[in-house]
A and B are shown apart, each in its own frame.
Chain A
């Protein structure tokens, strides 16, 4: 036996290791913070253990869910991963999959982002599990997440039901030392799949059962009743029973927590003796809540504080709202991430102890996330603003790095994946029907987001007679989440792309579609003007194509246009204001713009920006 070593693993890495160890055979995801590292980690562990496993970045979460779920009904252990807002996209198949059930164990990982740190909402996926009536496990650490993967497969197969694992940002991007055996040996000495815990089946073997897998409404009613029975049974499943973390005074106060809040509470308890009289429980399975546990909380404690993220899922199920305090009644703030200092004061107030004063400064930073220096999107946005003046235009945009176009004032709205195009349609129809003068409407969307959810709204826009310009910012990668591939990167055996963005756009009924290099300011401006003209009649599309600077694997032009500021600079600040490149800053006193060469990527685009011709390439 090779020695196991204590390895620092991030939550997503640990989750992936457990999936490989538990014999997951099909794993599919769409990237989204904080879930994005699961697939790359699976790829690493699969190769290390020599496991046979299908890994895939799907075009969107719905496709990821449906494909992985189908692997499960074919008899294999499977997994679909996404972020919480991705689960919205996959919610349609989730609801039905709960009714039909599974064959091979099936786990849906939906990573929540209380805060939110990198999301449009801080919605609670556990509520979605409740709507779907599937059990959900809520880990407080990477190591517990690993144990929960094993339990989730066990539950899934024993009860024939999809199981949700709901890690939050602090679990996904938290890390701890985890025993990994063996990691240092060569791949050949690693255990084979057979030596790892055995999956239900190693071969796909779909058994036809029309009443189940193609159930009509009559059978769906029966399936719903069956699902309710499963959930009732799971509310007394022993392995996921709540854990007693601290035995306090009999009949006194109790705190019920789940997820990373439990970890904060444990550190707090270790730190101070003030709270030892409080009974502390950790809920592992927030839905369905174990009914005996809920009953004992109601009967055996004077008062119960529920600390959970982000919605009152546990509190709701305990009942007896006169006895419970939590997110529901506002005792715990009804929005936002729960941090250790906030939790300490909740516990103190609950225990009747004076809260501590934590001096937290008001957020005084003016440093905001920004498109990288040299990012092709910045060049596209600048040209867009020049051709479509802000005062006469509406800019709809979408989810991705380019949402940061708000810094350039080139983004007026964004809502969700694909929304830029539907919102452009919505604005067009609103102005057209009400007789107001129709402003120029320019939508921006990234290539990955366009593939994800942009194609149906583009077809609708064409069919319903919209007139606007769509600028597709094509960097051929999913940049914000760490440069995952997009469908356009898939090649046929001869090396040509299997899927072409331009051909898809044209197939949607778009007559004007041109691809242009965003760093070529003259060409981009000219193309945008042509598109504006064409959009007087219909939807016109411009594809602004250049690789992401952060994408190490991308082939593209090298940035070699070093620029300098000459004496014509009078410190007017136009470049800083309108182009918003982090490498450009205005020295107020000297009345001059300066370039930070440690940030500059030599894209050279700012030469086109300065109205005084004060930015130039140095003479050779």
Chain B
């Protein structure tokens, strides 16, 4: 039971937070986790990446060609980080365009619009996370090892002192999971 998840985007999109929620969810599941984050200058609008390795890893970095799941919170990140993806790996891309028929491994989801409609325009990260648990993703065989309720628990744990943010975050998470 191992999963290697690479999360990519641009500084300010909440890449670090998305990675931590996933890592904490895996811990709730009782799995071991190692992770690596980007801090510092890149957070000022540069490319930001988080590596999450679930189940029996020691190194905090994913080796090129071995990511099971690649989150691309900006479309350009697909091109930049596709080489991290394993041949069987999934790519979850924040994009308004439909999936390509010939590419069964790349799933597009308009997280931007979803976040905007939920009056939470900066929460593209949460929308993408919710989508990872959608029926569309599950039907393709995507499995993050942790469950949706583990993710909910991680979010509740994190925003326990901020009821407003917590409610808005959970609502967006649910909407994104249930979106078609």
A residues near B, CB below 8 A?
A: 6-8, 10, 33-34, 36-37, 117-118, 140-141, 170, 173-177, 260, 263-264, 266-267, 270, 339-341, 344, 358-361, 364-365, 367-372, 401, 404, 480-482, 582, 598
Contact = CB atoms under 8 A, between A and B. Distances in A.
A400 to B, nearest CB: 10
Q: Is the interface of A mostly helix, strand, loop or mixed?
A: loop
Q: Which of A341, A344, A359, A482 has the most CB of B within 10 A?
A: A341
Given A8-B33, A141-B34, A361-B80, A264 B61 contact: yes
23 contacts: A7-B27, A8-B20, A117-B38, A118-B40, A118-B42, A174-B34, A175-B37, A177-B27, A177-B33, A260-B60, A260-B61, A266-B58, A266-B59, A267-B63, A340-B59, A340-B62, A360-B83, A361-B83, A364-B79, A369-B11, A369-B44, A369-B46, A480-B40
Contacts of B121: 598
Nearest to B28: A6
Q: Which of B20, B40, B47, B61 has the most CB of A within 10 A?
A: B40
Contacts of B59: 260, 263-264, 266-267, 340
B79 A341 contact: no
Given A8-B23, A174-B60, A260-B59, A365 B47 contact: yes
Given A177-B32, A267-B57, A372-B44, 20 more contacts: A8-B20, A33-B40, A34-B40, A117-B38, A117-B40, A118-B40, A118-B41, A118-B42, A173-B38, A175-B33, A270-B56, A339-B63, A339-B64, A340-B61, A340-B62, A341-B65, A361-B83, A365-B47, A365-B80, A404-B44
Interface in B14-56: 20, 23-24, 27, 32-47, 56
B10 interface: yes
Q: Which of B23, B36, B39 has the most CB of A within 10 A?
A: B39
Nearest to A375: B44
B76 interface: yes
B58 to A, nearest CB: 4
B47 A175 contact: no
A579 to B, nearest CB: 15
Nearest to A339: B61
B34 A117 contact: no
B80 A341 contact: no
A139 B112 CA distance: 40
B42 to A, nearest CB: 6
Contacts of B62: 340
A257 to B, nearest CB: 11
A369 B42 contact: yes
Nearest to B80: A365
B36 A174 contact: yes
Contacts of B42: 117-118, 369
B45 A370 contact: yes
Given A118-B40, A360-B83, A369-B42, A176 B35 contact: yes
Q: Which of B41, B56, B59, B65 has the most CB of A within 10 A?
A: B59
Interface of B: 10-11, 20, 23-24, 27, 32-47, 56-65, 76, 79-80, 82-83, 121-122
Given A266-B59, A267-B57, A372-B45, A358 B64 contact: yes
B79 A361 contact: yes
Contacts of A481: 40
Contacts of B38: 117, 173
A10 B10 contact: no
Contacts of A34: 39-40
Contacts of B80: 361, 364-365
B83 A370 contact: no
A387 B4 CA distance: 52
A37 B40 CA distance: 11
Contacts of A170: 36, 60-61
A141 B58 contact: yes
A175 B57 CA distance: 12
Contact of A341 (B11, B56, B64): B64
A141 B23 CA distance: 16
A358 B84 CA distance: 9
Contact of B34 (A118, A175, A369): A175
B32 to A, nearest CB: 6
A371 B42 CA distance: 11
Contacts of A482: 39
Contacts of B24: 8
Contacts of A175: 20, 23, 33-37, 60
A404 B63 CA distance: 31
A582 B122 CA distance: 16
Nearest to B36: A174
Contacts of A370: 44-46
Contacts of A369: 11, 41-46
Contacts of A344: 63
B72 to A, nearest CB: 13
Contact of B58 (A118, A267, A371): A267
Nearest to B57: A267
B36 A367 contact: no
Nearest to B81: A361
4 nearest A-B pairs in the assembled complex, by CB-CB distance:
A118-B40, A33-B40, A340-B63, A174-B60
Contact of A401 (B20, B23, B44, B57): B44
A118 B39 contact: yes
Contacts of A141: 34, 58, 60
Contacts of B35: 8, 174-176
A371 B44 CA distance: 6
A33 B39 CA distance: 7
Nearest to A340: B63
Nearest to B35: A175
A260 B44 CA distance: 26
A355 to B, nearest CB: 13
A367 B47 contact: yes
A48 B79 CA distance: 44
A341 B44 contact: no
A209 B44 CA distance: 50
Contacts of A6: 27
Nearest to A261: B59
A260 B58 CA distance: 9
A401 B60 CA distance: 27
